[in-house]
Amino acid sequence: MIFLSEFTLNNLLPTQLVDKILLHGIQIGASDVHIEPLNDSSLRVRMRIDGTLYDVCNLPSNVAQQIIGRIKVLASIDVAQKRVPQDGAFVFSCPDNECQSVDMRVATYPASLGEKLVVRLLDEANRRHRLSELGLSPKQFNDITSLLDRSHGFLLVTGPTGSGKTTTLYAALDYLNGPDKHIVTLEDPVEYHIEGITQAQINPTAGFTFAKGMRALLRQDPDVAMVGEIRDSQTARTAVEAALTGHVVLSTLHTNDAVSALIRLIDMGVEPFLVNAAVSGVIAQRLVRLLCDQCKTFYTPTKEEEYILQQYDVADKQLFGPIGCVVCNQTGFRDRCAIVEFVLITPELQELVRAKASHASLLEQAYKDGATSMLHHGMQLVLSGKLSLSELLRSIH
């Protein structure tokens, strides 16, 4: 079960309560623990599992401040300061060797009812940083690895916050990592350390911004440069120039689909001819929750779902849906994967970029050139029984 019962929390000291909550988060595969003040001065604890928040327990008001104080002490955060947001980190060593040590990142927020804490669980044992494990179709995998095998070029990964862009970048770095490659990254923050790669974290307070870091990174003579995010026109131009001068450059943008990334670069002041010369391909993605293999079940599609299936000539196909069991913590889902739209930059697409064509024209040409939409990729997972249709539609709308 996701919930922690009051019975398991009774008569525990604040230090033990914190250990119990964090250990529970690790055991159920949570990515984040949210500790939020309520009107009665108690604390609500929620955990994010496979991208969805679930209630876990409420902590009484008499221990609320001690719980918050304990986590702030662990994260080396100023306990007395409650009026400004603060960040910290610590390594949680599981009691009684119930799991491996897990990196924890803590962020505080001074809400009107009191301090809110979010603890991010970076479980090295459960990380997934291989391209072959991201759920790509065979064609997508071959196209992306062929692009990465080039000696230069610019690969962009796009999508909203929480769509797994950083995981995809790390998977690409893992693929490229080797004794013959000098790889340097610029991140905010460094989420996982990869052996053999030089990773740096920006520090705006000290003047170490993405733009300044990118210029310094290129002076390190890298074969591969990864920039966590293109945030301004200066970083965009420097990244493009790096790709043009014989580097493989990886980065992310916040756009809804792949071709929108080309338009965004132009809007950021990069000339269309430079976009054409530098950008090799764009990955757009969303994360979807996969059905639990232990409890998924067949069901008859609704009329709306039948209409969607008709577009794929599979109107008589039975669908799988979630149920819930002990294995999946009664959610019906277990694990996530990416649904991907990969656009390879072709001469025909470059011609439209040069003419500053509309988004619709770029998208139409990308599909003509062989790109498949996230919906199409997701439907392949639906028809294979790994994904529910409702989850697919939720993720792309």
Assign 97 a pLDDT band (cuts: 50, 70, 90). low
pLDDT for the residue 273: 95
Helices vs strands, H then E, count in the chain: 14, 15
- The dihedral through the CA atoms of 216, 168, 145, 263 has a sign that is negative
6: pLDDT confidence band, cut at 50, 70 and 90?
low
**For residue 271, which phi and psi values (nearest 5 degrees)?**
-65, 140
Question: Which H or E run contains 44?
Answer: strand 43-49
Helices 347-354, 258-267: axis angle to 10 degrees equals 40
Is residue 252 predicted with pLDDT exceeding 90?
Answer: yes
Structure tokens belonging to residue 317: 């196909």
Q: Is the pLDDT of residue 370 over 80?
A: yes
Per-residue model confidence (pLDDT) at position 309: 84
Q: Which amino acid is at 94?
A: C
Which of the pair, 371 or 123, is modelled with greater confidence? Answer: 371
pTM value?
0.88
- What is the average per-residue pLDDT within 242-250? 93
Q: Residue 361: what pLDDT?
A: 97
Asked if residue 118 has pLDDT above 90, the reply is yes
> Does residue 310 or residue 89 have the better pLDDT?
89
pLDDT at 106 over 90: yes
Surface-to-core class of residue 283, CB atoms within 10 Å of its CB (0-12 exposed, 13-18 middle, 19+ buried): buried
Residue pair 261/282 in contact by the 8 Å Cβ criterion: yes
Tell me if 374 sits within 8 A of 341, measured CB to CB. Answer: yes
User: Could you tell me the pLDDT band of residue 156, with boundaries at 50, 70 and 90?
Assistant: very high
Residue-wise burial string across 50-64, b where 16 or more C-beta atoms lie within 10 A, e elsewhere: bbeebebbbbeeebb
Supply 91's token pair.
Answer: 């390594």
Q: What are phi and psi of 202, to 5 degrees?
A: -70, 155
Look at residue 98 and tell me whether its pLDDT is greater than 70: no
CA-closest candidate to residue 3, choices 35, 28, 26, 37 = 28
Residue 157 vs residues 260, 279, 283, 377: alpha-carbon distances, Å:
11, 11, 5, 16
Res 148 pLDDT > 70: yes
CB of 333 within 8 A of CB of 291? Answer: yes
Nearest to 125 by CA among 162, 92, 155: 92
The 3-class SS string of 178-215 reads CCCCCEEEEECCCCCCCCCCEEEECEHHHCECHHHHHH
Other CB atoms within 10 Å distance of the CB of residue 210: 24
Are 366 and 343 in contact, with CB atoms under 8 Å apart?
Answer: yes
Q: Is the dihedral of CA 69, 102, 156, 270 positive or negative?
A: positive
The confidence score (pLDDT) of residue 1 equals 54
Listed in sequence order, the DSSP H helices in the chain are 6-9, 14-27, 61-74, 138-148, 165-176, 210-218, 233-244, 258-267, 272-278, 303-310, 347-354, 359-368, 374-383, 389-396
Least confident segment among 94-103, 152-161, 322-331: 94-103
pLDDT band for 316, please (50, 70, 90 cuts): low
Task: Please spell the DSSP secondary structure of 352-388, one letter per residue.
Answer: HHHTT--HHHHHHHHHHTT---HHHHHHHHHHTTSS-
Average pLDDT score, the chain: 91
Percent share of the chain, pLDDT over 70? 95
With H, G, I as helix, E, B as strand and everything else as coil, classify residue 249: strand
pLDDT at residue 88, rounded to an integer: 94
Confidence of residue 127 (pLDDT cuts 50, 70, 90): low
Q: Give the confidence band of 111 by pLDDT, cuts at 50, 70, 90.
A: very high
